[in-house]
Structure 1
Amino acid sequence: MSGHVPAPDGGAPGSGTPGGGTPGGGAPGGGRRRWVTWLVVAVLVLGPATYFVISAVQSRESGRDKQQAAAATGMTTGWPTKLQRRIYEVPLPAGSTGAAFLETNSWETSSLYVRFTTGPGGLDSFLGRIGTSRSSLRPGAGAVDPGQRRTAGWSLEDTPGVYGTEVEQEGDRPDHDVVVDLRNERRPTVYVVSTVDM
């Protein structure tokens, strides 16, 4: 007996692995292939998962926007912003009281609904600045149609002392539908819907 101990499974002495393979029992480069495989699996699994997460967030935000839009019905007390007044060309006279407004938007049009109370001079100034005058006022509240009244929550009726007019402008300037309640001539109340085509 020479004392030589053969390597298990016929491997060379000192190889450290059966059959002379690399550590881990695989062929050379096997570790890299496993890493690439796991990377592909991760992409295939996480890709759709990421898509569903993004879709869920967008859906939630869309629902929240719709809820906010639904909650925005009704008039807001106070004056519209300067930017709104400039875009919609609604020049509220100085000293106006009881002002309230509502802005609505769609794919085709945007409208600003405004109600305010002013004096005789303020009424003349307002009408003049939107391109009309008292002489254009006609009896009745028909200038603001029933759909617009429902949107703003205005209870306008064809009663004596209520007049209206429509001001149409060329190009991209807004059109104005105006109703004036002159039952109190010293403090007339104005209802105006200014609409811009998108």
Structure 2
Amino acid sequence: IIREIEDSRIRIFSYSNAGLASSRNRGIDHAQGEYITFLDADDLWTPDKLEAQFQALQEHPEAAVAYSWTDYIDQSSQFLHSGRQITINGDVYEHLLVNNFLENGSNPLIRKQALNQVGEFDTSLKAGEDWDMWLRLAADYQFVVVTRPQILYRVSTGSMSSQIKNQERECLKVIEKAFKFAP
């Protein structure tokens, strides 16, 4: 379907599955714009997500990351429940260290220069790699929030986030790493 769209801005890259962190790193390497965002295949955005987050970054040039609230949906895209709806602007590091209030990898819009500065996603992590990246960004950059749900995070039994033991093990690695390098 994508190949049928005649638009020189659209480029297709195909790789074997090397995991979430490697895929995100490849995307960043190929990206040519000033901003980066991620949309996991099973999640959805509201139609105004990018516009609202872009506007938030324009209004707050000191911020490198804009995030929104999350709602949770089932496999049929039916609403399950609201996310945490945490509103923290500016220096968010202390709060983010205790609670990944971005809640998922499909959330933030990030200035590419900030991603380039903090380095790639950690490919040694098998979960929690997004939280690790948000922490590294928060150590050096300010965040701004769009105070409405714009990410629809799909909950399913086969998803990576449903593998609780793996999530626990990998998130403990993220916390240990963050405490080693905490500013």
User: Normalization by structure 1: what TM-score?
Assistant: 0.22
In terms of Rg, which structure is larger? 1
